[in-house]
Amino acid sequence: MADVPHELSAQIGDGGEDATGDDVALDPGEPQFDLVEPGRVSRREVQPDTIKRRAMGKMRAVQVAQGGGALELVEREMPEPTQGEVRVRVEACGVCHSDSLTVEGQWPGLSFPRIPGHEIAGIIDAVGTGVVGWSVGQRVGVGWFGGHCGRCEPCRRGWLIDCRNLRIPGISYDGGYADAMVAPADALAAIPDQLSAVDAAPLLCAGVTTFNALRHSGAMPGDVVAVLGIGGLGHLGVQFANKLGFCTVAIARGSDKEALSRNLGAHHFIDSATEDVAARLNRLGGARAVLATVTSAKAMTPVIEGLAVRGRLIVVGVDAEPIEVSPLQLIGASRSVVGHAAGASIDSQDTLGFSALSGVRPMIETMPLSRAPEAYARMMRAEARFRMVLTMAEQH
């Protein structure tokens, strides 16, 4: 585990320019982002009390008893998969800012108690009836996309992530803060052998969000692509942009993020605290795409003037405030501002495959499941560098 200073200030959600990462000692040129030894989780011994609990059909889970309540470690009945579902023995689960929707009870229609967690990596250990193509022993992940209805208009058009009845683990049904969880088979992504569970977990939400947005950005190899905010999302976005062959620009507040950004693969760094971001982007020829991972609409507004002709501002950082843009800014250069949701399970699988292929890895801090409240609090204080990941092995 990294020794982490506590100077971070702002709450930034999935990503954000306030999540600093400047003083992590990285060795340039290496796939150095693996703060946890790959495969460490799967090599751990199963503890005797775990075996006993399983024999009794029980599991550990961290649940929220009611909206706004505390996360609590409880013993639950082991869930059984029904038709079209599999049970996943969870090895690792990332802690995402969107888990606060469950903890705070902010998602409409949530029922309690609920187990949060939608960055789930594990192994199938039971298969329900009618499941084709998935079997016991297979390594799988489940992300924000937790199943689609197949009947609504977006589903019928093939836009599964836009399903009007989208199911989300940890919200629509119990998620990954547990020894096991049950998911519909259409929510599964296969995990390649080269990726450990702890590395795969954050790629199932933060990873697919950035990778999928960048690969559909319309930018071609060599084009200028900027990532606004170097946090949970942005530190992956910079790596993906570099590996996709873009001229990669990192934009963050404060020059202290420059070294980290360059180690992650940024060819250029813009300090938004001291520089005119749009002017710098224009000197580089203008950005074909800017991936906005900051959770501040105000921080997104200044980059619009730095978009090239037909350039796109791709919004993945969440904020309720408006982004300010004039029709003139958009029309004159055929620019656009677009939102982008994470991706369906096949997009997650592509993200995992591309990461295995290219060496993209999340920077993570791990904690055992029993310390989930602490991991969650650390994430909410924006102190995680850059993703907290819960591991289900009991000793840590």
Pick the closer one to Zn ion by CB: 98 or 100: 98
Helix 208-215 and helix 345-358, axial crossing angle in degrees, nearest 10: 90
Residues whose CB is less than 8 angstroms from the CB of residue 285 and which lie 6 or more positions away in sequence, other chains included: 224, 308
Pick the closer one to Zn ion by CB: 149 or 330: 149
CB of 150 to Zn ion, least distance (A): 6
CB of 144 to Zn ion, least distance (A): 5
CB of 166 to Zn ion, least distance (A): 7
Pick the closer one to Zn ion by CB: 148 or 253: 148
Longest CA pairwise span in the chain (Å) = 68
Pick the closer one to Zn ion by CB: 127 or 142: 142
Bridge partners (DSSP) listed for residue 387: 364
CB of 156 to Zn ion, least distance (A): 8
Residue 230 tokens read as: 């170097």
Pick the closer one to Zn ion by CB: 162 or 256: 162
CB of 148 to Zn ion, least distance (A): 5
Q: Which of 295, 253, 286 is nearest to 272 (CA)?
A: 253
Residues whose CB is less than 8 angstroms from the CB of residue 113 and which lie 6 or more positions away in sequence, other chains included: 63, 64, 65, 66, 74
Strands (E), 128-256: 139-142, 180-184, 189-190, 224-228, 247-252
Pick the closer one to Zn ion by CB: 214 or 304: 214
Half-sphere exposure of 381 (CA within 13 A, CB side): 12
CB of 342 to Zn ion, least distance (A): 7
Residues 73, 25 contacting (CB under 8 angstroms):
no
CB of 266 to Zn ion, least distance (A): 24
Residue 253 to residue 272: CA distance in whole angstroms: 5
Pick the closer one to Zn ion by CB: 163 or 289: 163
Pick the closer one to Zn ion by CB: 181 or 270: 181
Residue 333 tokens read as: 């250069």
Residue 61 tokens read as: 């889970």
Residues 299, 20 contacting (CB under 8 angstroms):
no
Q: Which positions lie near Zn ion, rule CB under 5 A?
A: 96, 98, 148-149, 152, 155, 163, 165, 205
Residues 291, 251 contacting (CB under 8 angstroms):
no
Residues 92, 121 contacting (CB under 8 angstroms):
yes
Pick the closer one to Zn ion by CB: 152 or 346: 152
CB of 348 to Zn ion, least distance (A): 11
Residue 227 to residue 184: CA distance in whole angstroms: 33
CB of 163 to Zn ion, least distance (A): 3
Q: Which of 171, 187, 199 is nearest to 85 (CA)?
A: 187
Helix (H/G/I), strand (E/B), else coil: 52: helix
